[in-house]
Structure 1
Amino acid sequence: MAEHATTRDAATTHRTTPHLLILGGTTEARALAAALAGSPLRVTSSLAGRVAEPRLPAGEVRIGGFGGPAGLAAWLRAEAVDAVVDATHPFAAVMSGNAALAARATGVPLLALRRPGWAPAAGDRWHPVASLEAAAAALPALGRRVFLTTGRQGIGAFAHLDGLHFLARSVDPPEPPMPAALEVLLDRGPFTLDGERALLREHRIDVVVTKDSGGAATAPKLTAARELGLPVVVVERPPLPSGVPVAESVPAALEWLGARGTGLR
């Protein structure tokens, strides 16, 4: 009987404790989960599972997809979720869209937590483009030795470019299709300015390709490119779903949660 009572008590606690779902394994997602450790909330962080050894946040963690917006909506109902914070990567447009549809279907409040994008500084030679395909089209006129920092899943967009040499940096090894002349550097930020300067010089890089991920962890490559006078092809962020409020910092997200009556006030 004692075992059954314990199970009932745990289930009741989960039903009565406000439940927050954090989507994403970004720096901001982990910082938010850490800030809420020990709070009155039950916090579940959901990771996509695309990185072999992700940095795990504090609190409960689930790994893997939900099965589209309908699957996410069903999970929100089954787990009695009171609020969702979409802290996925700024380029995780599909997941952000699914979150918006699921929140709309269930009436669960949704916040997008997004670090600000990068802004060009004096001396930058940026070439903004709308997609990875547009970045690939721009490269032949800009250089022959390319530092590709768009993540392993974006490398296929450059596979058709012959005559260019690519240095691609990613956390996990990429999968085909890939450019014929490709060197892969497995590494994870944060990166230092001295390290980025040395890397660009050592590999004789003459053009950099990056997504506008924002944040400090990978920004030193932009400073190093500016110092060396290198062009940088910057893939612009996809738009967020309409009607979703945005917080640009963890404190702003905490303020939003408190205003929702989640027990943080």
Structure 2
Amino acid sequence: MPAPAIEPIRRQGRPLLRLGLAAYSFRQLLNLSRTPPTMTLDGFIDLAATMPFDAVELTEYYFPQTTPAYLAGLKGRCTRLGLDVSGTAIRSDFCVNNAGRLKMEIDHCKRWVEHTSRLGGKTIRIFGGTVAKNDKEDRARRQCIDAIQECCAYAGQFGIFLALENHGGITGTAEQMLALVRAIKSDWFGVNLDTGNFHSKDPYADLARLAPYAVVTQVKTEIRRAGRKAEEADLKRLVQMLRTANYRGYLVLEYEAAEDAKTAVPRHARILREMCG
């Protein structure tokens, strides 16, 4: 019997925020198009260990290979340094209006379920995708729901949660997110709450609507309201929002602002550590 449509997550205990660092924060250095890249995932893990983080989030874009031996090496490195692998983050598009491509997207997600399990991760960040030209959002949404449910059924066999990010396209607004989230029937599904990806008049209000469904949160240091330039995020307000939702999980710093990540990330790590305890 399928699980009922997802409801806000009921969490026992008090709010608990564990601090993580997304590999994407150092995307310029990890870029595999450079030969060789300036930083490897091993180097990223080592760097994270010098800052007050509890975990790392490993982004698929920066894996030079995904052999069992390589994944085991990354997991072992994290273990030796006292870091969790909170999860992985992958690129996906479940709105594609082509059966062959959709199967490729689903198969790709399932492969990363296996990779994430080998790494000891708990969640996989996924995207919903973008409605193709000449397609209809209702059709794309139904397909997206079915595809995610299929992937969740597989992920559940490994104890992995699939976490849908608010990331433009079919997930660009709180209303679009909720239309998907409330329809997906799986115990292994939740939201990857990205605090920088709602661009409405009141992003904080939109984020608060999704916070009860979050299984992982990516915190950005900036927000951008509709029709306005980027502004510094109120990190204290974001942390309090998560506490109000009784969030228990990883708060992953995904740094994207203009300042060099090598100086900005350590500073924001200290600020967030003070807020999270």
TM-score calculated relative to the size of structure 1: 0.28
- Tell me: higher relative CO, structure 1 or 2? Use CA pairs within 8 A at least 6 residues apart: 2
